[in-house]
Amino acid sequence: MKAFRSYLSIIFCSPQLLFACALIIFIAAPFMTGAQQQMVSFAIISIALAQSLNILAGMTGQISLAHGAFMGIAAFTSVILVKKLGISPLLSIPSGAVLSGLIAWLLSFPAARVKEFYLAMMSVGFGMIFSEVVREWESLTGGVMGITGVPSAQLGTFIVFGWVVSTTDYMRALVVFALVMMFTLDRFVRSRWGRALFALHVSELAARSIGIRSGQIKRQAYFLSGALAGVAGALYAHLVSYIGPESFEIHRSIEILVMSVVGGLGSLAGQVLGGIVLTFLPLQLEAFADYKFIVYGVVLTLIFVVMPSGLAGVLLDPPRFIANRFRAQANNVSEKPAERKRIVGEEILRWENLRRDFAGLTAVTNFNFSLRGGEVVGLIGPNGSGKSTTINVVTGVYPPSAGRVFLKGQDISALPIEYIASLGMVRTFQDPRLVGRFTVLENVMLGAHLHQKYGWTEALSGLGRVTVDERSALDRAEAALSLINMTEFRDSVVDSLPYGYRRLVELARALAVDPDVILLDEPGAGLSEAEIGRLKQVVRHLASKGVAVLIVDHHMDLLAQLVDYVVVLDSGEEIFRGSMNDMRSDPLVAECYLGKLDSNATKAEGAHA
Amino acid sequence: MTHQFNRRKVIQRIAGLGAATVFGLHLNFAFGQTGAGPIKVGMTGALTGPYSEYGEAVKNALDLAIEQWNAKGGINGRKIELTTVLDDQLIPDRAAQNMRRLLDDKSLAVIMGPGGSGPSLAVADMVAADGRTFINPFSQNPTPTYPNGLDKPPRTNMFQFGILSNVEAAFLGNYLGKTYKKIGLAHESTGYGVAGKDTLLNIINKSFPDRKFEIESYAQRATDVTPQLLRLQRAEVDAIVVVGLGADLVNIRRTMRRIGMQQPLIASAGGVSVAYMEGAGDAAVGTIAPLVPALVESNPRPEVTAFVNSYKAKYGPDRQWGPDKNRPFAGMSLIVIPPYDGANIIFEGIRRANSTEPAKVTAAIENMKGYAGVNTVYSFSRQRHHGIDSENLTMLQAVKREDKVVWEVLKN
Amino acid sequence: MNFAATLLVAGLSVGSIYAMIAITLNLTYWTTRTVNFGQGSILMLSAMGTIFLARVGLPLGFAVLVAVGVAAVVMILIERIAIRPAMGESGSMGWAVSTLGVGILLQGLVARYFGSQAVAFPEVLMSSDLYLTVGGIRIGAQYLLVFTFSIITIAAMEAFLRLTVWGRAVRAVAQDRELAGVMGMPVLGIILTSFAVSGALAGVAGVLTAQIIGTVDPAFGFNLLMSGFVAAILGGFGSNIGALVGGLLIGVIEQFASGYVSTALGHGISMVILLLMLAFRPQGLFGIVEVEKA
């Protein structure tokens, strides 16, 4: 089976073969009948639609049933521009796409504020509004009658620079478009932005805590997704020569969803598979129409249970997210990125009178603290004492109810998480929030996201700083990996690793950010002896480099070997600060952990003695 | 263990496969019409989906007509074959794609087009460009056949057999203008509804310019139409005319009763459907609609009786026939009989021309006068490619006879 | 005056159905934090089921009861097939897509085996031309009946939740499922009950709606689900008072928008309200803002 999959993957996923296929179709074009050309054209458009949905649903985890509407916006725009204003399709198609992208971008704002399943309803609602607008705005869209005689190749009315485009030419143009799209998307998926989208999907909080600006990225993903759906929509309109309100309603969005999901969310090759299968199957099997709803229904009901990674998951090797050409130098670890000068002993992090309330419950109060570079401090206390809350407030997850937080002298009290991360403070979580399908290396590279500078256009085109940034990020990632001693695991998929290893990978990801302060939330939990050993090595190394480290944990032995001193919290208040030895003999601490000695109990014991 | 596949070999194999595929695709020879062999017919229609009754009507009609011709030896000795039947669910895009496939098949001599205004409009241009003989089974929008307006000549290869909206509007408009002063018009927000409403308004305004209108629209399958009807009630209209399909007519009828509207309800031909009769039940009594009287006349013509008997013999009292086992539902004149008459007329045209060449067939049909079909007696000409005119229509009314609600000719 | 009054009556009547649908969504949301995207098909199933059973000879009232029962059973199946296996699978997308799939599947099955046509739904409760006159204003009895029926059902649900042991158990599971389980409550049984009640209620809503429209077809229900969803969001997801207020508000707003401005606005306005609520106040009128522990 594995051999079969590798074989298929070579066929399907190698760029040379993709090119060859395209060439064959290109050459065969004039010998194909009109219907065959139309079928191929539909297939390409379907693939584009599936890819567009994949960007949002597969990569970013934003379910959308509005892609029919995004198709429609661009379709109507292009048709109206060409038919009524005589503008060239070369201009009208991109214009339509940009409009679709912009409207999708607008939708991203409310989308950012709501729970996942609300997104589905929101997208349906938007689709309905679009449909209503198309039906009412008769003067523009032809109302319920739609627009016939759309300039198209099959009517001989699709004209570019005076050249009448035939159906053969149109199909060829679509083949070229498909090639360009696939190469561009592949580049995108293997860029920092593609990887960041996957990270967002897994945990927005974790992504933000390593500096990924989730709001901005989501909006751009919406734009890209909407624009690509728009291109497909405009190309569709000029193919079928008739569009009406029914062309772009919920059933269209559902079809796109089925294609995307059947092919395999999160996989580019999967979208191709899904698009092809769901174009040819209905056209070849007349009986299919009868059972279409039943088939779609069964597919959607069971896909996440039976085949969550779709056809791509079954037939192909999993996709990878680093461009191969950058990896050539990846094994060269001797070049570590330039180290920043840190002054040991200088105050890096401080908070004053910190307080956080939650609807009547005070989780933390009256907390004052200062952390210097090179220090390792333990923050301990029983469950519910406010340790995690402190970390959350300090790193920006919630604002403090009172008091202030300073990082390197700057007041960061109510700043966003990703901004704080960019200033040099990073934290880890109690559960490792890694991207399961990524390899160790791909996950750790996410930590270097902050240090890469190239934008979306460069990610899509592959020009500019991409090469430099990717290579240096790889170097950073390798350096972090060698710190945790997991270099030989760099290509292991994280989901296949044991829990302890995953926690270390998360630590490496934080290291790749190269922070000045690092807050570790229960780093020792679930680690084996050997793994704890690596953890200790890392902490000591960090301290020696002047990084300030705060550890929340329950492993007293671990802490004893690492920390300079501890702070003990109980019910949100600090009850002790000092060395671990002194802590052990402090009566207040003992009481909070063990409880007050019950005077009645001692009497009872005495009575039985 | 890694699988080292020699890339070059793989690429070679694929190239080979690719070439074979191209060659295979190329094996698509079109067998032209050779003047011998069967006469091939292709159709697209709503075979499945929410409108499957319409596609089924066309297919039943076509099958019956072909069977009857073949029983008499075919057309000049050549049998007729329905070789390709495609499903478009009354979706315009789908109809266009199907039509593309049908037109690519050069062996087809006659094409039975899709039903519904949307699909008809969607395929009109490509059919005209192709030129083969084309039957538009029951759609009411005249634009596909008369793209430049009704006073200009129609497309030479296209013939339409439903009740055109302008024909219905002329007849209905005349009746309404004569009978009522203030008319409430509710139409569904689809191509059918909007076109119907527009043509009706034009006709009435031309012949009865002082009539007043209140116009409302509703979405197909809307949950509630109370606001629209309330507005019509408030406007104190003399009658309610509805241009829409039968299922929604039920909702309208019930709402009228809920809010106490006593005005007469007049349906467009499209509203006369089994769904309406069953859904409205006794409340349907009193509804008026324009229709071909063929199936409700007390002394039916022999062609009508022959059709009724042969339909019942072949299909039994099916969904198209309607709930009354003894009497066919009047609505058959709308979606079953037009394609039946249409097929017969085209086949007759081929017979008279002794050829399937579109120009000759068209000439033969245009020369037909007084051809006795089921819905009516047909005459065609260079200017006229549609079957039914205003003089072929009558106003019918739903009445109660022996505990059943049936349609009868409206008595003045 | 009559105009506005009738719009109000119609709006309250349809709105009460929206409220009922919103409550069916709440029920599954409480116990499993999920929502059935195929709920529209449950409404359709019970309406179609009633018609089918009546045709084969069952007395109408009985047919309704059986059809509603079937709806409840199907909901339980949905929990088993579409919800439970998809939980924890990439956030909420798993169950959202699977329940959507079930809805489509039901639609396809009904269309395949019973046809896709709109079929007539008989007047179960009373004829459409009966009416009352209140203060000189005519009020259609069917509207009144639907409204009353819905309110009684909703009130009964509230009573059930607040006063019975099972009701309180449902609320306990809603608060903290793990704790409830640890305390010895039959969590699975409670979840299944909530689904069954949700299905039954949806079945009733389906029958009532079919009563108003007059015909049912396999695609019936999706628009209703959307309206019910908007009602739930407007009122605040998880709150029954919110569902009631939200539903009635949406019903009335739609009617008045249609009546005084245009039908197009009437169709679109609930969706606009949806987008606005999600953009500015996702917790609705009566909902609580949830703070998640990071």
Q: Mean pLDDT, to the nearest integer, of A228-241?
A: 94
Q: Are B247 and B204 in contact (CB under 8 A)?
A: no
Q: Is the dihedral of CA A277, A278, A280, A286 positive or negative?
A: positive
Q: Which fold has domain A2-319?
A: ABC transporter involved in vitamin B12 uptake, BtuC (1.10.3470)
Q: How many CB atoms lie within 10 A of CB A137?
A: 13
Task: Pick the closest to residue A184 from A463, A442, A472 (CA basis).
Answer: A463
Residue B26: predicted pLDDT: 37
pLDDT in tens, A452-501: 989 999 899 888 888 889 988 999 999 999 999 899 999 999 999 999 99
Query: Which residue did the predictor score with more confidence, A92 or B323?
Result: A92
Whether B386 shows a pLDDT value over 60: the answer reads yes
Using CB atoms and an 8 Å cut-off, which of residues 33-52 of chain C contact chain B?
none
**B8 confidence band (pLDDT: 50, 70, 90):** low
Give me the residue from A31, A146, A283 closest to B92, CB to CB.
Answer: A146
CA distances C165 to A178, A210, C171, C196, Å, are 61, 48, 10, 17
**C273 confidence band (pLDDT: 50, 70, 90):** very high
Q: Which CATH superfamily is domain B166-291 in?
A: Response regulator (3.40.50.2300)
Q: Which residues pair with B218 in a beta bridge?
A: B188
Residue A595: predicted pLDDT: 66
C156 CB-near residues (< 8 Å, 6+ apart): none
Q: Which residues pair with A369 in a beta bridge?
A: A351
Give me the residue from B216, B226, B246 closest to C10, CB to CB.
Answer: B226
Residue A516 DSSP class: S
Q: Are B212 and B183 in contact (CB under 8 A)?
A: yes
| Structural class in CATH, domain A347-454+480-599 | alpha beta
Instruction: Name the average pLDDT for chain A.
Output: 88
Give me the residue from C86, C100, C279 closest to A110, CB to CB.
Answer: C279
Q: Mean pLDDT, to the nearest integer, of B207-219?
A: 91
What residue ranges of chain B are covered by domains with CATH 3.40.50.2300?
A: 39-163+334-392, 166-291
Residue B34: predicted pLDDT: 45
Angle at A10 between CA A6 and CA A16, to 5 degrees: 170
Q: Do B87 and A289 touch (CB under 8 A)?
A: yes
Task: Pick the closest to residue B270 from B255, B297, B239, B291 (CA basis).
Answer: B291
Alpha-carbon gap, residue A310 to A318, rounded angstroms: 11
Give me the residue from B223, B227, B281 closest to C263, CB to CB.
Answer: B227
Give me the residue from B259, B260, B275 closest to C119, CB to CB.
Answer: B275
Give me the residue from B10, B92, B129 closest to A246, CB to CB.
Answer: B92
Q: Mean pLDDT, to the nearest integer, of B304-314?
A: 95
Using CB atoms and an 8 Å cut-off, which of residues 61-90 of chain C contact chain B?
none
Residue B37: predicted pLDDT: 87
pLDDT in tens, A90-106: 999 999 999 999 999 99
CA distance A578 to chain B (A): 56
Query: Which residue did the predictor score with more confidence, B52 or B50?
Result: B52
Task: Pick the closest to residue A127 from A67, A50, A76 (CA basis).
Answer: A67
**A596 confidence band (pLDDT: 50, 70, 90):** low
Q: Which of A312-316, B345-349, C15-19 has the lowest mean pLDDT?
A: A312-316
Q: Which two tokens stand for residue B307?
A: 């059709």
Residue A67: predicted pLDDT: 97
Q: Do C213 and B250 touch (CB under 8 A)?
A: yes
Instruction: Identify all chain B residues contacting A2, using CB atoms and an 8 Å cutoff.
Output: 3
Report phi then psi at A179, rounded to 5: -60, -50
Q: Which residues pair with B185 in a beta bridge?
A: B215, B241
Q: Do A301 and C98 touch (CB under 8 A)?
A: yes
Residue B15: predicted pLDDT: 52
Residue A602: predicted pLDDT: 46
Residue B385: predicted pLDDT: 95
Q: Which of A287-291, A333-337, B336-340, C279-283 has the lowest mean pLDDT?
A: A333-337
pLDDT in tens, C192-206: 988 999 999 999 999
| Structural class in CATH, domain C2-280 | mainly alpha
Alpha-carbon gap, residue A413 to C46, rounded angstroms: 56
**B11 confidence band (pLDDT: 50, 70, 90):** low
The amino acid at A489: F
pLDDT in tens, B24-48: 443 333 333 445 789 999 999 998 8
Q: Domain residue spans in chain A? A: 2-319, 347-454+480-599
DSSP, collapsed to helix, strand or coil, labels residue A132 as helix
Number of A to B CB contacts under 8 A, please give it.
112
- CB-count burial class (<10 Å; 0-12, 13-18, 19+) for C69: middle
- CB-count burial class (<10 Å; 0-12, 13-18, 19+) for A306: exposed
Q: Do A242 and B195 touch (CB under 8 A)?
A: no
Q: Which of A146-155, B334-343, C126-135 has the lowest mean pLDDT?
A: C126-135
CA distance A132 to chain B (A): 10
Residue A608: predicted pLDDT: 44
B153 lies within 8 A of chain C by CB: no
Whether A333 shows a pLDDT value over 50: the answer reads no
Q: Mean pLDDT, to the nearest integer, of B253-275?
A: 88
DSSP, collapsed to helix, strand or coil, labels residue B90 as coil
Distance of CA B257 to the CA centre of its chain: 31
Residue B3: predicted pLDDT: 42
Residue C89: predicted pLDDT: 54
- A11, closest residue in chain B (CA to CA): B10
Q: Do A125 and C275 touch (CB under 8 A)?
A: yes
Q: Mean pLDDT, to the nearest integer, of A424-446?
A: 93
Instruction: Kindly state the percentage of chain A with pLDDT values over 70.
Output: 94
Whether B286 shows a pLDDT value over 80: the answer reads yes
Q: Are A552 and A518 in contact (CB under 8 A)?
A: no
Residue B189: predicted pLDDT: 86
What is the radius of gyration, based on Cα positions, of chain B?
24
**B394 confidence band (pLDDT: 50, 70, 90):** very high
Alpha-carbon gap, residue B327 to B338, rounded angstroms: 19
Q: Which residues pair with C176 in a beta bridge?
A: none
Alpha-carbon gap, residue B118 to B91, rounded angstroms: 7
Q: Which of A333-337, C35-39, C112-116, C259-263 has the lowest mean pLDDT?
A: A333-337
Whether A434 shows a pLDDT value over 70: the answer reads yes
Residue B7: predicted pLDDT: 55
A91 CB-near residues (< 8 Å, 6+ apart): A81
C254 CB-near residues (< 8 Å, 6+ apart): B224, C11, C14, C227, C266, C269, C270
Q: Which residues pair with A574 in a beta bridge?
A: A569
Task: Pick the closest to residue B51 from B331, B245, B188, B332 (CA basis).
Answer: B245
Residue B271: predicted pLDDT: 83
Q: Which CATH superfamily is domain B39-163+334-392 in?
A: Response regulator (3.40.50.2300)
Whether B2 shows a pLDDT value over 50: the answer reads no
Alpha-carbon gap, residue A455 to A469, rounded angstroms: 11
Q: Which two tokens stand for residue B211?
A: 């009539």
Q: Do C263 and B216 touch (CB under 8 A)?
A: yes
Residue C237: predicted pLDDT: 86
Residue B246: predicted pLDDT: 82
E runs forming strands in chain C:
119-120, 131-134, 137-140, 215-216
pLDDT in tens, C83-128: 888 776 556 678 888 999 999 999 989 988 877 777 888 877 667 7
Q: Which of A365-379, A410-424, B60-74, B271-285 has the lowest mean pLDDT?
A: B271-285
A436 CB-near residues (< 8 Å, 6+ apart): A202, A493, A494, A495
Q: Are A418 and A213 in contact (CB under 8 A)?
A: yes
**B154 confidence band (pLDDT: 50, 70, 90):** very high
Q: Do C116 and B49 touch (CB under 8 A)?
A: yes
Instruction: Identify all chain C residues contacting A118, using CB atoms and an 8 Å cutoff.
Output: 233, 278, 282
Which residue has tokens 């009130």?
C155
Residue C81 DSSP class: I
A271 CB-near residues (< 8 Å, 6+ apart): A47, A50, A51, A54, A58, A259, A260, A263, A264
- DSSP string covering B19-59, please? HHHHHHHH--------SSSPEEEEEEE--SSTTHHHHHHHH
B42 CB-near residues (< 8 Å, 6+ apart): B82, B83, B84, B85, B86, B102, B105, B108, B110, B111, B112
Q: Which two tokens stand for residue B293?
A: 């009287």
Q: Which two tokens stand for residue C292?
A: 């998640």
